[in-house]
Amino acid sequence: MKTSTLAALLIVAGAAGTSYWWLQRTPAADTAAGSTPSPAGSAASGAPGTASGTRAGPQTVGIALAQQRDVPVSVEAAGSVIALDSVEIRPQTAGIVTEVAVTEGQPVRRGDLLFKLDDRAERANLEKARAQLARDKATQADIERQLARARELFEQNFIARNAVDSLQTQLDAQLAAVRASVAAVQSTEVALSNGVLKAPMSGRAGAINVVKGSLVQPGGAALVTLTQMDPIGVSFTLPEAQLGPLRKADKELAKEGGVPLVVQLPGERRGQPAVALPGHVSFIDSGVDPTTGTIRIKGKLPNTDRQLWPGQYVTTRLTLRTVKDAIVIPQAALIVRGNERTVYVVDAQGMAQMKPVQTRQPLGELVVVEGIAAGEKVIVEGKQNLRPGTPVREAAARAGKGGDRASGAAGAASAAGAASGASR
Model pLDDT for residues 366-414, shown as the tens digit of each residue = 888 888 888 899 999 988 888 898 898 888 776 555 544 444 333 333 3
Beta-strand pair 59-65/392-396: parallel
Q: Model confidence at 7, in pLDDT bands (50, 70, 90)?
A: low
Q: Poorest-confidence range of 44-48, 91-95, 221-225?
A: 44-48
Residue 168 has pLDDT above 90, yes or no: yes
Residue 28 has pLDDT above 70, yes or no: no
Q: What was the pLDDT predicted at 58?
A: 86
Give the H or E element holding residue 139: helix 120-155
Nearest CA to 146 among 121, 165, 129, 119?
Answer: 165
Mean pLDDT computed over every residue of the chain: 81
Determine whether 256 is exposed, middle or buried from the number of CB atoms within 10 Å of its CB (0-12, 13-18, 19+): exposed
Cα–Cα distance measured from residue 389 to residue 132, given in angstroms and rounded to the nearest whole number: 108
* Spatial contact of 360 and 421, defined as CB atoms under 8 Å apart: yes
Kindly state the percentage of the chain with pLDDT values over 90: 46
Q: Model confidence at 291, in pLDDT bands (50, 70, 90)?
A: very high
Full strand arrangement of the beta sheet holding 113-117: 196-198, 113-117, 95-100, 215-216
Q: What was the pLDDT predicted at 409?
A: 38
Give the CA distances from residue 215 to residues 8, 13, 91, 269, in Å, rounded to whole numbers and listed in that order. Answer: 139, 131, 10, 50
Q: What was the pLDDT predicted at 382?
A: 85
Beta-strand pair 335-337/277-284: unpaired
Give the CA distances from residue 51 to residues 46, 54, 55, 221, in Å, rounded to whole numbers and listed in that order. Answer: 9, 8, 9, 84
Q: What was the pLDDT predicted at 234?
A: 95
Beta-strand pair 215-216/113-117: unpaired
Mean pLDDT of 134-151: 94
Q: Model confidence at 325, in pLDDT bands (50, 70, 90)?
A: confident
* Spatial contact of 279 and 263, defined as CB atoms under 8 Å apart: yes
Residue 253 has pLDDT above 70, yes or no: yes
More confident residue, 266 or 256: 256
Residue 1 has pLDDT above 50, yes or no: no
Nearest CA to 262 among 320, 301, 310, 232?
Answer: 301
Task: Determine the 3-state secondary structure of 387 from DSSP.
Answer: coil
Q: What was the pLDDT predicted at 109?
A: 94
Q: What was the pLDDT predicted at 15?
A: 59
Residue 82 has pLDDT above 80, yes or no: yes
Cα–Cα distance measured from residue 329 to residue 66, given in angstroms and rounded to the nearest whole number: 5
Which residue ranges form the domains of the chain, and what is each CATH number?
67-81+239-423 (2.40.420.20), 86-117+196-227 (2.40.50.100), 120-194 (1.10.287)
More confident residue, 410 or 276: 276
pTM as predicted: 0.61
Q: What was the pLDDT predicted at 400?
A: 53
Q: How many CB atoms lie within 10 A of CB 392?
A: 21
Give the H or E element holding residue 243: helix 243-252
More confident residue, 8 or 359: 359
Q: What was the pLDDT predicted at 46?
A: 37
Q: Residues 181-226: pLDDT tens digits? A: 999 999 999 999 999 999 999 999 999 999 999 999 998 889 999 9
Transcribe 65-131 into DSSP letters: E-EEEEEEEEEEEEEEEE-S-EEEE--SS-EEEEEE---TT-EE-TT-EEEEE--HHHHHHHHHHHH
More confident residue, 63 or 25: 63
Q: Poorest-confidence range of 5-19, 39-53, 117-131?
A: 39-53
Q: What was the pLDDT predicted at 33?
A: 37
Q: What was the pLDDT predicted at 145?
A: 94
Q: What was the pLDDT predicted at 18?
A: 56
Q: Poorest-confidence range of 287-301, 320-334, 401-415?
A: 401-415
